[in-house]
Structure 1
């Protein structure tokens, strides 16, 4: 031992770890070990060797690798993640092997072939901070990269790493191939529902303001991966109902409830918030804030911070700064934006036009308001038929949605709406990429989950699609109407016609495309009476209905066999080609 050489030098350390290794081993030890050995031999070792790396330790659930170049280490990490994602794409979600990778550059001690020092510990903590399928690098590594490679990473700010004295500035790989909602167990996260804050201002037309504050608090909480946050539309379904808090908690599957009120009088505003344990009704925390309306965003931040610290304790510090982001500092822009959202979620004949006007007014007052740009893109498409809008309208909407993401790269809503615009343009691969980024930024946004599920259905990945949709419905058990269409479409393609019809019937006033889906469901399930009734309703809405027109304009399906399945159902019902 005394003759072993001890060397100290600057090195680049890469730490890798398999996500959920214990769960995989418990489920099927033999298959997991075989898969890990195969991937180590076919992907890990060749990529490391090709870039001059040396494996210091190779464990069952990870590795420690040393490089002499930060560029080589990052190039190796990206290659590993991309090849692994490709290798695992046909494996069931719960059985996939995913890596987290952390990279640091530091002075280390090399003794007997092993590595020691704080720099090694930091690399391990960076790995733990990475997303499943992702890469987290220290700022000192990021600065060694070329401009093109640097742009592949988004700024994660300074974070406190466990057992590391000083905060570390980190960067996250933008294209982390997130596996989706099944990579973490919802049961392991605390669930919380924020009930609509009561408007005590005495003016019903100010409901939108208290609702907007409620939704912003929900949005702030939803960015913390330690919490499972119930979607706003489900929480809002209990407005004005007599159900007790215990019953609301049970129906929303929420451990904790937040309720409160907003009173606005002239230039002053009072916000009251209470955190309640749903099962017992115990008040865990309450506070009120008397402020000028110009301080409204600071109040919302403070409410969110207090709720989080009370329910979770030590929250993932890497996400705190991002979770408390505010969309604008202009109260006037914020009010127009909230009014636009109300119109976007309504179904009146003039609502889409009113939404457009509100979002344009918000941008006029704050040209840097990212979400207002994103929703304006959607409102303009809604006015012209969404996916059936003229090419120039689709192009303009895409440019506007891209601008929204440039204005705020950390906002999941902007990424989701950009994904939706790509979906309407039938750019399904780009749509999936942006939905995954939106999910990475906010895994609790039920809209992202369900829209991603609908996209995966159209791409033929039905089992994966149902996982996303199921998780979205879990977070939003009282969803908006379009969720039922997404679910019904997926169930139909799966051949579960009666379930599909039940989902589609959730829409109280279905349009022609939903009615057409119902006709196909009933025809395929052999329910002649229901088929004729649904067909009569469809032809009343659209006397010149054409199966070909519906297939080409109403479905946005990528796979020909799916289009044929709908064609068979409609023709079986006796509808014209």
Structure 2
């Protein structure tokens, strides 16, 4: 009613939302909605009741809750986050907690700066983490078993004054963790990360070219067997960020970091590069290279040779020469190949379809372009997995094109690895798959895509130890790729066939978090849950599977299986049957 006095009170506000909600909904809308509803019903609301919290607002991907005590709010937040971690949930939450003055209207709705700050803190929290304001920190410090990392003052959007923030962690975690992140151990060979080069062309349209230049340099360096080279998808997590080279070296476990810029103007290309020793920050080498665009491959060769020689002066010259393989003699085909690359990394059927269009243009121009043929085969195979094209026709076409890629260049490790994957996973030609996989790993042991594709070949052949070794190596080469569901999926399947269903469940849940609509991860998760006797949860996984199209019957899954051994097929199909899949 107009004229009623505004009611105010001091309240602790907890704001939470789902990490990556938009992309999850885009990839698997019904499955994501069902998961979030279950999370709210089974985890969040019971925790609120236990800690006397009141749900004041829900959004599609989050909640706001009010507590009379900041201690209760923090305890509730910890309980929810720890429950999600313990259950291996694919969904992760960010949380922000603030203590402040709020306005309460006649309907009990809450407004004001107190709730706005909580919402801003939540947006800054780490996935799976809790960020609190200084007011909350002052109230709970010493009263419950938690420790805080001072996260500094933050200038929050639409909040006039900076807010001091603290990231919360459990005491047990703090006791177990060292005072500083140890980083990854250095490999026993010269190791390097090539960071994204800055596009100096003044044209955002040329971004794909700058990124492609970096990818080609990474590929060339990975062909030098003496080197350990971090994968492109990991180094590109640093794109657009101001980086501390020493921190990059620690996070990636490398001795050297290459950074630089690319300028493409008219018919000329200029590349500048500097090689830095990560541990000390000292510059080892810096140079500038400029060529006509028609000589772009020579320019890449010069950069690669200069970097290789600076890192290891005694390197065998044949190794450097081997890294200089020209992918194609046609620059139009090369341009099409580069334009396909961003879409290959989106990991969804529509993007694979976009990439396929560019790759088909590339191989139409140059039918012997082995890299383009290999990625085209991979692209078609992935779309078949997603159900975006008829499975049998798609997989047979993927086999044909993969074999073309190998024939075009029998020493292209990527082509051999993709062919190994296609032959084992789709066709069941395991002997030829092993031959290709072993050759690929001899030629390019430093390539994450080679390691992953070959690992799947070993996995489907039942060679589990070798499969695990290659998945682990791929993870070391590509540790930070935020979209790579392949590695945890593969490790989960290895653990499944080893009979370690608990580890399998953990890895498969991580894979689903990165690729929510990938049916094979959900299938193995359902089967693992069934083997663990968690039948209700297995049935929930099956219900998600039925929401993903196209739906396959158990008979179809069994008939399409290319697993090399009967015991593997029995464990997989039998687990699905226990889970209620029919």
TM-score over 0.5 (shorter chain): yes
How many angstroms apart in 2 are the aligned matches of 1:399 and 1:539?
A: 31
Question: Residue in 2 aligned with 1:170?
Answer: none
Tell whether the 8 Å contact from 1:186 to 1:228 is kept in structure 2 after alignment. Answer: no
How many angstroms apart in 1 are the aligned matches of 2:206 and 2:227?
A: 30
Question: Residue in 1 aligned with 2:332?
Answer: 332
- Taking a change above 3 Å as real, the CA distance of residues 380 and 567 of structure 1, as seen in their structure-2 partners, is closer
Question: Residue in 1 aligned with 2:433?
Answer: 431
- Taking a change above 3 Å as real, the CA distance of residues 369 and 461 of structure 1, as seen in their structure-2 partners, is closer
Gap regions ≥5 residues in structure 1: 1-184
Q: 1:390 deviation in Å?
A: 6.2
1:42-65 deviation per Cα after TM superposition (whole angstroms, max 9, x unaligned) = xxxxxxxxxxxxxxxxxxxxxxxx
Tell whether the 8 Å contact from 1:359 to 1:375 is kept in structure 2 after alignment. Answer: yes
Question: Residue in 1 aligned with 2:187?
Answer: 187
- Taking a change above 3 Å as real, the CA distance of residues 344 and 482 of structure 1, as seen in their structure-2 partners, is same
Question: Residue in 2 aligned with 1:410?
Answer: 411
Q: 1:272 deviation in Å?
A: 1.1
How many angstroms apart in 1 are the aligned matches of 2:575 and 2:504?
A: 13
How many angstroms apart in 2 are the aligned matches of 1:282 and 1:547?
A: 59
1:125-148 deviation per Cα after TM superposition (whole angstroms, max 9, x unaligned) = xxxxxxxxxxxxxxxxxxxxxxxx
1:247-289 deviation per Cα after TM superposition (whole angstroms, max 9, x unaligned) = 1111111111111111222222221111111111111111112
Tell whether the 8 Å contact from 2:343 to 2:352 is kept in structure 1 after alignment. Answer: yes
Q: 1:421 deviation in Å?
A: 2.9
Question: Residue in 2 aligned with 1:564?
Answer: 570
How many angstroms apart in 1 are the aligned matches of 2:385 and 2:466?
A: 29
Question: Residue in 2 aligned with 1:483?
Answer: 487
- Taking a change above 3 Å as real, the CA distance of residues 499 and 289 of structure 1, as seen in their structure-2 partners, is same
Question: Residue in 2 aligned with 1:90?
Answer: none
Secondary structure, aligned partner of 1:225: coil
Question: Which residue of the other structure, out of 480, 494, 501, is the alignment partner of 2:498?
Answer: 494
Secondary structure, aligned partner of 2:202: coil
Q: 1:219 deviation in Å?
A: 1.0
Q: 1:551 deviation in Å?
A: 3.4
- Taking a change above 3 Å as real, the CA distance of residues 563 and 186 of structure 1, as seen in their structure-2 partners, is farther
TM-score (norm 1): 0.63
Question: Residue in 2 aligned with 1:518?
Answer: 525
How many angstroms apart in 2 are the aligned matches of 1:379 and 1:214?
A: 21
Secondary structure, aligned partner of 2:287: strand
Question: Residue in 2 aligned with 1:471?
Answer: 473
- Taking a change above 3 Å as real, the CA distance of residues 576 and 390 of structure 1, as seen in their structure-2 partners, is closer
Q: 1:348 deviation in Å?
A: 4.3
Question: Residue in 2 aligned with 1:461?
Answer: 463
How many angstroms apart in 2 are the aligned matches of 1:365 and 1:459?
A: 36
Q: 1:393 deviation in Å?
A: 5.3
- Taking a change above 3 Å as real, the CA distance of residues 457 and 419 of structure 1, as seen in their structure-2 partners, is closer
Question: Which residue of the other structure, out of 548, 552, 557, is the alignment partner of 1:541?
Answer: 548
How many angstroms apart in 1 are the aligned matches of 2:301 and 2:436?
A: 27
Residues 279-290 of structure 1 correspond to what in structure 2 (within 5 A)? 279-290=279-290
Question: Residue in 2 aligned with 1:316?
Answer: 316
Secondary structure, aligned partner of 2:271: strand
Q: 1:449 deviation in Å?
A: 1.7
1:221-243 deviation per Cα after TM superposition (whole angstroms, max 9, x unaligned) = 11111111111111112223444
Q: Which moved more, 1:364-373 or 1:523-532?
A: 523-532
Secondary structure, aligned partner of 1:413: helix
How many angstroms apart in 2 are the aligned matches of 1:536 and 1:381?
A: 25
Runs of 4+ that moved beyond 6 A: none
How many angstroms apart in 1 are the aligned matches of 2:568 and 2:325?
A: 42
Secondary structure, aligned partner of 1:568: helix
- Taking a change above 3 Å as real, the CA distance of residues 460 and 403 of structure 1, as seen in their structure-2 partners, is closer
1:576 aligns with 2:581: yes
How many angstroms apart in 1 are the aligned matches of 2:199 and 2:536?
A: 48
How many angstroms apart in 2 are the aligned matches of 1:359 and 1:373?
A: 7
- Taking a change above 3 Å as real, the CA distance of residues 396 and 520 of structure 1, as seen in their structure-2 partners, is closer
1:531 aligns with 2:538: yes
- Taking a change above 3 Å as real, the CA distance of residues 545 and 381 of structure 1, as seen in their structure-2 partners, is closer
Residues 208-227 of structure 1 correspond to what in structure 2 (within 5 A)? 208-227=208-227
Q: 1:190 deviation in Å?
A: 1.4
Secondary structure, aligned partner of 2:285: strand
Question: Residue in 1 aligned with 2:31?
Answer: none
How many angstroms apart in 2 are the aligned matches of 1:401 and 1:252?
A: 32
Tell whether the 8 Å contact from 1:432 to 1:455 is kept in structure 2 after alignment. Answer: yes
Q: 1:386 deviation in Å?
A: 8.5
Residues 51-200 of structure 1 correspond to what in structure 2 (within 5 A)? 187-200=187-200
How many angstroms apart in 2 are the aligned matches of 1:384 and 1:528?
A: 30
- Taking a change above 3 Å as real, the CA distance of residues 383 and 458 of structure 1, as seen in their structure-2 partners, is closer
Residues 7-86 of structure 1 correspond to what in structure 2 (within 5 A)? none
Matched length: 391
How many angstroms apart in 2 are the aligned matches of 1:205 and 1:529?
A: 50
How many angstroms apart in 2 are the aligned matches of 1:447 and 1:230?
A: 11
How many angstroms apart in 2 are the aligned matches of 1:273 and 1:263?
A: 12
TM-score (norm 2): 0.63
How many angstroms apart in 2 are the aligned matches of 1:396 and 1:532?
A: 35
Question: Which residue of the other structure, out of 498, 504, 511, is the alignment partner of 2:508?
Answer: 504
Question: Residue in 1 aligned with 2:305?
Answer: 305
How many angstroms apart in 1 are the aligned matches of 2:568 and 2:244?
A: 45
- Taking a change above 3 Å as real, the CA distance of residues 546 and 405 of structure 1, as seen in their structure-2 partners, is closer
How many angstroms apart in 2 are the aligned matches of 1:378 and 1:538?
A: 24
Tell whether the 8 Å contact from 2:545 to 2:551 is kept in structure 1 after alignment. Answer: no
Q: 1:332 deviation in Å?
A: 1.7
Gap regions ≥5 residues in structure 2: 1-184
- Taking a change above 3 Å as real, the CA distance of residues 351 and 529 of structure 1, as seen in their structure-2 partners, is same
Q: Which moved more, 1:376-385 or 1:255-264?
A: 376-385
How many angstroms apart in 1 are the aligned matches of 2:289 and 2:550?
A: 58
Tell whether the 8 Å contact from 1:545 to 1:576 is kept in structure 2 after alignment. Answer: no
How many angstroms apart in 2 are the aligned matches of 1:312 and 1:435?
A: 28
Tell whether the 8 Å contact from 2:370 to 2:415 is kept in structure 1 after alignment. Answer: yes
Q: 1:370 deviation in Å?
A: 2.2
Q: 1:561 deviation in Å?
A: 0.9
Question: Which residue of the other structure, out of 443, 461, 464, is the alignment partner of 1:441?
Answer: 443
How many angstroms apart in 2 are the aligned matches of 1:452 and 1:470?
A: 12
Question: Residue in 2 aligned with 1:236?
Answer: 236
How many angstroms apart in 2 are the aligned matches of 1:396 and 1:349?
A: 17
- Taking a change above 3 Å as real, the CA distance of residues 287 and 374 of structure 1, as seen in their structure-2 partners, is same
